[in-house]
Structure 1
Amino acid sequence: MNTENLINKVVSITLKSKAYFQGIVIDISDDWCYLKYIPVDYMTDGYVIINKRYIAGIEITEEDQFKERILQLKGVISVKSPILALDDNEKLLADLQSKIGIIRVEIKDHHRAFIGKINSIRKHSFRVHLFSPGAVWLQLETFLYKEIRAIYFEEDYINSLKLILPPFLSDTE
């Protein structure tokens, strides 16, 4: 399947771990798949960028086509999404840092996720100043690009915590 034909289509993505994503394709590169995330039914909740090294398959099912028709009628598919540079890890993270701010990082183990503000970007890794589920700033954590399974942003959970998150004092803490 030509990846260009997937843009603005609802797709189902199966990961090698058997986890499953559904979303509207915004963009695809050699390394990343950028979706408007559909967690359930006909609702979108932010965006997810999935590392293609963890993807086992991408398909368009009959259910996806049905959802796509509904989401088109709701005007969801035509909504502008943030433009991100997917072709280069450092540029992608720089875009997330400058345009988005707070992200949720999911590593190889999908049961562990980290939420925070991107602190610094390197050739093979990046650092995030984490905060807790109680919206308290924590320590800095380093993540290797190759270990990132998915990066979420502009989702309800993050946006809700941002409402009560205390001001960020310094990136050197």
Structure 2
Amino acid sequence: MSLSILTFKVYFLSSYYTSKLMHLKRYVGKFLTFQFQGRKDNISGVVLKYNDDYTLIRTCIDYRLDGYTIFKNEKVEFIQGDFEKRAARILKLKKYLPGEEPIIPIDTLENILAYVSLQYRLIQLDTRKGDAFDVVDFRGRVGKLYHFEELTTNAKWRYKLQLPERECRFIHFDNDYLNSLKLITKFKGGTSI
């Protein structure tokens, strides 16, 4: 395949996904399902905040609110079909109000991670495919690498991770799994590397 055809395909795909998301601002406060190219599972929830780089949603699983997700706006489409309308109706009956959510910054990855780590301590970072994740505590950034301490499923600190920005596309926090782990975790002091 020639370079010009490959470049066109990459440009076309990125403009297609970008144009789909450009209209997302009007969906703030609405329940949507997000599909990601190359990811097995979709993510559903109420859109709380959006900018060109990131989207923040109140995650919903089986009509139950469970934490927050911030994801990078790359190769993503959204759906608002029958399921999403029904879920929105159920959340409304449960008296959920998106306007009462905390204000969470989504301007830069470093600010996102620092805020979430300070307020909620544990962060769940999904792989691109969504088939695995790490539970981490953000320790800071050095150069282009983000430093974390990883927690095992037994609530033991295992080792330090250093990840580039491209590996931090899906950030989950304040969900039931992480809050349960926090109950049995001994945290180390500070957020220095």
Q: Shared topology, TM-score over 0.5?
A: yes
Structure 2 residue 46 is the aligned partner of structure 1 residue 24: yes
Pair 1:120–1:172, CA change in 2 (3 A): closer
* Contact 1:30–1:87 (CA under 8 A) maintained in structure 2: no
TM-score (norm 2): 0.80
Instruction: Report the counterpart of residue 134 of structure 2 in structure 1.
Output: 114
Give how far 1:131 is off: 0.8
CA RMSD of aligned residues (A): 2.1
* Contact 2:147–2:160 (CA under 8 A) maintained in structure 1: yes
Give how far 1:94 is off: 2.2
What is the alpha-carbon distance in structure 2 between the residues aligned to residue 7 and residue 129 of structure 1? Answer: 33
Give the aligned length.
Answer: 171
Query: Please, which runs of 5 or more residues in structure 1 have no aligned partner?
Result: none
Q: How does 1:69-80 map to 2 (within 5 A)?
A: 69-78=89-98, 80=100
| Percent of aligned positions that are identical | 21
Structure 2 residue 58 is the aligned partner of structure 1 residue 33: no
Pair 1:109–1:69, CA change in 2 (3 A): closer
What is the alpha-carbon distance in structure 2 between the residues aligned to residue 133 and residue 85 of structure 1? Answer: 28
Instruction: Report the counterpart of residue 50 of structure 1 in structure 2.
Output: 71
- Three-state SS of the structure 2 residue aligned to 1:83 is coil
Instruction: Report the counterpart of residue 127 of structure 1 in structure 2.
Output: 147
Pair 1:117–1:97, CA change in 2 (3 A): same
What is the alpha-carbon distance in structure 2 between the residues aligned to residue 90 and residue 116 of structure 1? Answer: 14
Instruction: Read off the aligned partner of 2:43 and give its amino acid letter.
Output: F
* Contact 1:54–1:149 (CA under 8 A) maintained in structure 2: no
More displaced 10-residue stretch of structure 1: 154-163 or 100-109: 100-109
* Contact 2:48–2:98 (CA under 8 A) maintained in structure 1: no
* Contact 1:93–1:121 (CA under 8 A) maintained in structure 2: no
Instruction: Report the counterpart of residue 32 of structure 2 in structure 1.
Output: 11
Instruction: Read off the aligned partner of 2:52 and give its amino acid letter.
Output: D
Runs of 4+ that moved beyond 6 A: none
TM-score (norm 1): 0.88
More displaced 10-residue stretch of structure 1: 94-103 or 76-85: 76-85
Please state which structure has a larger fraction of its residues in helix. 2
Pair 1:81–1:142, CA change in 2 (3 A): farther
Give how far 1:62 is off: 2.0
Please give the per-residue CA displacement for 1:54-91, whole angstroms capped at 9, x wherever unaligned: 42x11211221121111012122346323222122222
* Contact 1:10–1:24 (CA under 8 A) maintained in structure 2: yes
Instruction: Read off the aligned partner of 1:160 and give its amino acid letter.
Output: S
Pair 1:124–1:76, CA change in 2 (3 A): farther
Give how far 1:98 is off: 2.2
Instruction: Read off the aligned partner of 1:7 and give its amino acid letter.
Output: V
Pair 1:171–1:87, CA change in 2 (3 A): closer
